[in-house]
Amino acid sequence: MALAKRIIPCLDVDAGRVVKGVKFVDIRDAGDPVETARRYDEQGADEIIFLDITASSDDRATMADVVAQVASEVFIPLTVGGGIRELTDISRMLNAGADKVSINTAAVFNPAFVKQASAHFGSQCIVIAVDAKQTDFGENPKWGIFTHGGRKHTGIDAIDWCRRMSDYGAGELLLTSMDRDGTRSGFDNELNRRVSEAVPIPLIASGGVGNLQDLVDGVKLGKADAVLAASIFHFGDHTVPQAKQRMAEAGIEVRL
């Protein structure tokens, strides 16, 4: 008996609709976030993360509506990320029914915000999303923190940054390898392991999952506490139960 490693599907939401194509065998409306979340819940997903990629701030209210609808039907933890810049953004999502918010860019531009947010709402609901990219290869590899979808290097070392965010009260880290994101070639487990061993808080590994073995490797090699995946579930290649089965076979504790 032990804490289970979590499998977390991530849904990108644009103006209230799930994008990137989610495919379930018998789904009526593949773009409906409520229906999609319900399906993942039925499949046994341990949590769900919504990433609001809406460009216009007018549509931010739409995300809160989506969260409210999902939260009234789906009783597993819900995290919302994207556009969380102020304490009022956090209140709005928590009041709508989110359990956690994920902060990315705002943490980089204003690290004190993370302190404020965790002091105000409690560490348990503050997830810090970290976008990292390898900058030094060779014997002493290094990773940097990037913004603007991985285009802009901030000059901050990723491991140092993760430690700092943990010190500032983050309850959890969502670490995305910008090198692997979208490649389906597996997590950057060297990065994951280094971060996981450097911080006392849980780590969600993200970026690069292409098959079920990648999820196993994220836990075994990357020492991740949770694995996030989007496309392998969305496109119907694999289901959450298949992923859990594979992890269980590899000796990983999962909630079955």
Q: Which residues bind other proteins (CB under 8 A)?
A: 1-6, 41, 46, 71-73, 75-77, 94-99, 121-125, 171-172, 200-203, 225-226, 255
> CB-wise, 27 or 94, nearer to other proteins?
94
Closest distance to other proteins from the beta carbon of 104 (Å)? 19
Residue tagged active-site, from 12, 14, 188, 225? 12
Closest distance to other proteins from the beta carbon of 206 (Å)? 16
- Check if 12 is active-site: yes
- Locate 110 and state its tokens: 């204003």
> CB-wise, 63 or 178, nearer to other proteins?
63
Closest distance to other proteins from the beta carbon of 39 (Å)? 14
Residue 206 CA to residue 229 CA, distance in Å, equals: 7
Closest distance to other proteins from the beta carbon of 118 (Å)? 9
> CB-wise, 6 or 133, nearer to other proteins?
6
Residue tagged active-site, from 32, 131, 217, 225? 131
Indicate the pairing of strand 6-14 with strand 17-18: antiparallel
> CB-wise, 97 or 150, nearer to other proteins?
97
- Check if 41 is active-site: no
Active site members? 12, 131
